[in-house]
């Protein structure tokens, strides 16, 4: 030893070369001990609780919406396909099951490669190191951070098994488009679960951890294909696939799905659920992995949304072309794609109503590009005439009529709402709150107070039935004038008298006004309130008869449900149950019990009048469209066609449709509830009632008398029923014999 020290003293340079690494090693050990003592706890890994989004489901198990910054589908390692696991390890960490957190041989290989190929540098981070960085550290390239990463990886390996580490990594890693973990990425990019992925799709996903944004197959499909080829080459090299399999996978086109925005078939309903969950659980609602099952039925909801959108598109066809939504300055060359991406971000697709940018226009055709990069051509005078004076860069809207056949369109300015309920329970089966949630988050189904027009009339008729009216009661149809108010019948025709059945079936305004006058506006308004319509929002005068108050579509659906449900008015409800990430039910609905609005006999008799409307009156189109005769309903059109309604039901379903402009104005001179709203109701009911047998409403066991074809309250049968309102009794014949002096007992006046 003495000789060695003497040698080093005599030769200081050699001594320094030997001492320096020892000093550095000692300093490194001291720093490592210092850093180790300050490493974070591993609770977030040992008790791994991944952030999972709030999911909203239909009653029949279809996804309606997701909310949360991270899209994640936790998949246990045992359910991860073995080919996916093997491919990931082959590409990211081939020595995963043998190293202790740091792959020293991998570091040596990377250093040697980087010396020989300085332009294509390689890293040597193990999966454990990547997990440590992802969970606890930043991506800053500093020596301290790299030491922390390595030491954390060693600590993780000491506390978790290899299977736990791999399971957390495969569920935690960001793979682009807000998709965390391979389960979410498979759904996000390919719309399928992991066990359905092809070899080529597995290669795309395995290639993403290296650069999730740069190899995003949605944004950069060519880069993704190049990265896929590299991954497939690696899989061939390690023997996981054959060269022939890799070649077939490379040649297979990628069927990549563009990520969908929140707006879907139940956008407004999903938002209603989101708001309720945040109220209950705070911001944790977005990360706890809650699954909310609603009462909505997916097929019925889809039909309601599609029918409403179709009606609004058809209404828009009858409007003049308003011009492009914007006109952009489009550059030529390589900058064009970036300019188009910016344009489509500002003007996104609205469901099937696609945004399109005009690239070229001549007298024979217009060339446009869609948000997914596809180019389309519009031809024909009808499509080209509105485009004559437009410039390159005009932002337009188009609809696909058939495979490859496009037509010019425009965003509807009108809005609408659809609500369908189970009349017995109040469970909401469909709820459409507007044309498109991305455009307008206002929920017209629950928030829009509008005039119901003639759809309000059944409540007036119901009030008269309670006083002794029946289907044959005669009511004057002659014009009414009160001061400056001179209402008219929609068809401009007036008759001396009509029965209640005829008056409601033909939606005669004069008949309803006479009934309201006989009842008194106060009594009529109070009776309508029994159906859940807010009394203070209805006028206290004769205009009440024409539906000049304010109601929401949801209120009208609940109100009409009372007719279908033997006078019991249900309270609508949407959320059935809430489950946590483990599938445990943390909340279950206790549906509200229906409240008595009217008697069962009143509901039955009023429904018979509504059946006449649906069979032979203003709603006859409903019966013919659906081909069934167990329907009941009423159209509604307000003055100047500002609001269009249809409210109707069958024994098992009640539905309301409203269409109008957000800022009230006329929908058009010829627009009506029967023309606009009724087809939406019929299309929705066609799905709701599929497979349902024809079911007529049955009369209650007590309280009614059936004479001929008509029904009467027992106490008002015969001469005690209301015979006429506003109509003079016929004079007895001049030759009639003298009365025997016996007169029937006087009937109490209506307004007592």
Tokens of 345: 């971000």
Q: In angstroms, rounded to a whole number, what is the distance separating the alpha carbons of residues 514 and 494?
A: 13
- Report which of 670, 680, 679 is spatially closest to residue 319, judged by C-alpha positions: 670
**Please, which residues have CB within 8 angstroms of residue 690's CB and are 6 or more apart in sequence?**
none
Q: Is residue 568 within 8 Å of residue 578, measured between CB atoms?
A: no
Q: Which residues pair with 710 in a beta bridge?
A: 707
* DSSP state for residue 730 in the 8-state scheme: P
Q: In angstroms, rounded to a whole number, what is the distance separating the alpha carbons of residues 50 and 182?
A: 13
Q: At what angle do helices 298-317 and 673-688 cross, to 10 degrees?
A: 160
Let me know if 666 is exposed, middle or buried by CB neighbors in 10 A (0-12, 13-18, 19+). Answer: middle
Q: In angstroms, rounded to a whole number, what is the distance separating the alpha carbons of residues 395 and 368?
A: 9
Helix, strand, or coil (residue 605): helix
Residue with tokens 């309670």: 466
Counts of helices then strands in the chain (DSSP H, E): 25, 25
Instruction: Single out the catalytic residue among 454, 476, 507, 599.
Output: 454
Kind of pairing, strands 474-476 and 724-725? parallel
User: Could you give the angle at the alpha carbon of 622 between the alpha carbons of 620 and 625, nearest 5°?
Assistant: 110
User: Could you give the angle at the alpha carbon of 175 between the alpha carbons of 170 and 181, nearest 5°?
Assistant: 30
Kind of pairing, strands 405-409 and 415-421? unpaired
Concerning whether 454 is annotated as a catalytic residue, the answer is yes
Instruction: Single out the catalytic residue among 66, 70, 92, 167.
Output: 92
CA 191 to chain CA mean position, Å: 18
The 3 state secondary structure assigned to 545-567 is: HHCCCCECHHHHHHHHHHHHCCC
Q: How many CB atoms lie within 10 A of CB 119?
A: 5
- Radius of gyration, CA atoms only, the chain: 36
CA 7 to chain CA mean position, Å: 83
Phi and psi at residue 653, in whole multiples of 5°?
-155, 140
Q: In angstroms, rounded to a whole number, what is the distance separating the alpha carbons of residues 519 and 463?
A: 8
Q: What is the DSSP string of 178-212?
A: TEESHHHHHHHHHSS-GGG--HHHHHHHHTSTT-T
Q: How many CB atoms lie within 10 A of CB 140?
A: 8
Q: Is residue 658 within 8 Å of residue 645, measured between CB atoms?
A: yes
Distances 393 to 42, 339, 426 between C-alpha atoms, Å? 54, 10, 50
Work out whether the CA dihedral 321, 322, 323, 327 comes out positive or negative: negative
Let me know if 362 is exposed, middle or buried by CB neighbors in 10 A (0-12, 13-18, 19+). Answer: exposed
Q: In angstroms, rounded to a whole number, what is the distance separating the alpha carbons of residues 345 and 578?
A: 34
Q: In angstroms, rounded to a whole number, what is the distance separating the alpha carbons of residues 705 and 699?
A: 10
- Report which of 352, 370, 368, 371 is spatially closest to residue 360, judged by C-alpha positions: 368
- Active-site residues, by number, are 92, 454
């Amino acid at each position: 030893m003495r000789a060695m020290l003497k040698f080093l003293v005599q030769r200081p340079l050699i001594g320094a070369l030997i001492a320096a690494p020892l000093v550095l090693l000692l300093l490194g050990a001291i720093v490592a001990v210092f850093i180790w003592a300050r490493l974070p706890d591993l609770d977030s890994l040992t008790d791994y609780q991944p952030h999972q989004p709030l999911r909203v489901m239909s009653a029949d198990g279809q996804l309606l919406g997701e909310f949360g910054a991270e899209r994640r589908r936790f998949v246990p390692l045992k359910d991860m396909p073995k080919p996916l696991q093997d491919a990931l390890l082959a590409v990211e960490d081939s020595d995963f099951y043998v190293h202790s957190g740091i792959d020293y041989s991998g570091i040596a290989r990377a250093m040697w490669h980087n010396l020989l190929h300085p332009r294509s540098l390689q890293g040597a981070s193990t999966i454990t190191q990547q997990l440590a960085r992802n969970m606890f550290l930043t991506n800053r390239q500093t020596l301290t951070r790299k030491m922390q990463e390595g030491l954390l990886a060693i600590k993780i390996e000491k506390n978790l098994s290899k299977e736990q580490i791999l399971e957390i990594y495969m569920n935690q890693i960001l793979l682009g488009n807000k998709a965390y973990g391979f389960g979410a990425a498979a759904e996000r990019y390919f719309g399928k679960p992991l066990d359905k992925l092809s070899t080529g799709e597995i290669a795309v996903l395995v290639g993403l951890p290296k650069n999730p944004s740069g190899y995003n197959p949605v944004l950069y499909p060519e880069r993704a294909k190049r990265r896929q080829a590299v991954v497939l080459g690696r899989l061939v090299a390690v023997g996981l696939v054959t060269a022939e399999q890799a070649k077939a996978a490379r040649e297979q086109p990628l069927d990549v799905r563009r990520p969908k925005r929140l707006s879907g078939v139940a956008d407004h309903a999903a938002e209603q659920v989101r708001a309720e969950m945040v109220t209950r659980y705070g911001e944790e609602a977005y990360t706890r992995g809650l699954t909310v099952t609603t009462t909505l039925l997916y097929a019925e909801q889809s039909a309601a949304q599609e029918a409403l959108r179709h009606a609004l598109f058809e209404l828009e066809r009858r409007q003049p072309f308003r011009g492009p939504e914007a006109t952009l300055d489009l550059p030529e060359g390589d900058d064009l794609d970036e300019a188009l991406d910016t344009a489509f971000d500002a003007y996104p697709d609205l469901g099937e109503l696609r945004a399109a940018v005009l690239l070229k226009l001549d007298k024979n055709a217009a060339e446009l590009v869609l948000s997914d990069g596809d180019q389309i051509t519009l031809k024909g005078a009808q499509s080209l005439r509105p485009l004559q004076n437009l410039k390159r860069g005009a932002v337009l809207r188009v609809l696909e009529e058939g495979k490859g056949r496009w037509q010019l369109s425009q965003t509807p300015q009108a809005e609408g709402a659809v609500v369908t309920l189970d009349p017995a329970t109040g469970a909401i089966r469909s709820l459409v709150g507007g044309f498109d949630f991305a455009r307008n988050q206002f929920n017209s189904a629950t928030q829009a107070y509008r005039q119901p027009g003639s759809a309000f009339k059944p409540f007036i008729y119901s009030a008269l039935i309670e006083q002794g009216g029946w289907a044959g009661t005669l009511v004057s149809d002659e014009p009414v004038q009160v001061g400056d108010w001179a209402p008219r019948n929609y068809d401009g025709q007036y008759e001396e008298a009509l029965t209640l059945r005829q008056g409601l079936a033909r939606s005669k305004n004069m008949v309803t006004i006479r009934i309201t006058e006989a009842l008194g506006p106060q009594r009529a308004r109070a009776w309508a309130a029994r159906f859940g319509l807010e009394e203070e929002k209805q006028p206290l005068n004769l205009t009440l008869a024409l539906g000049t108050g304010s109601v929401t579509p949801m209120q009208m659906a609940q109100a009409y449900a009372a007719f279908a449900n033997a006078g019991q008015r249900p309270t609508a409800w949407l959320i059935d149950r809430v489950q946590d990430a483990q599938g445990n039910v943390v909340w279950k609905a206790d549906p509200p019990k229906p409240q008595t609005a009217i008697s069962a006999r009143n509901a039955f008799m009023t429904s018979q009048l509504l059946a006449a409307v649906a069979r032979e009156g203003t709603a006859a189109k409903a019966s013919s469209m659906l081909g069934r005769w167990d329907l009941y309903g009423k159209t509604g059109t307000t003055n100047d066609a500002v609001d269009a309604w249809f409210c109707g039901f069958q024994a098992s379903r009640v539905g309301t449709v409203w269409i109008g402009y957000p800022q009230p104005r006329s929908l058009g001179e010829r627009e009506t509830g029967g023309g606009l709203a009724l087809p939406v109701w019929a299309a929705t009911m066609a799905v709701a009632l599929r497979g349902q047998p024809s079911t007529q409403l049955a009369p209650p066991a007590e309280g009614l008398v059936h004479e001929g074809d008509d029904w009467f309250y027992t106490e008002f049968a015969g001469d005690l029923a209301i015979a006429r309102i506003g109509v003079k009794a016929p004079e007895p014949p001049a030759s009639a014999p003298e009365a025997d002096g016996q007169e029937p007992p006087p009937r109490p006046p209506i307004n007592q």
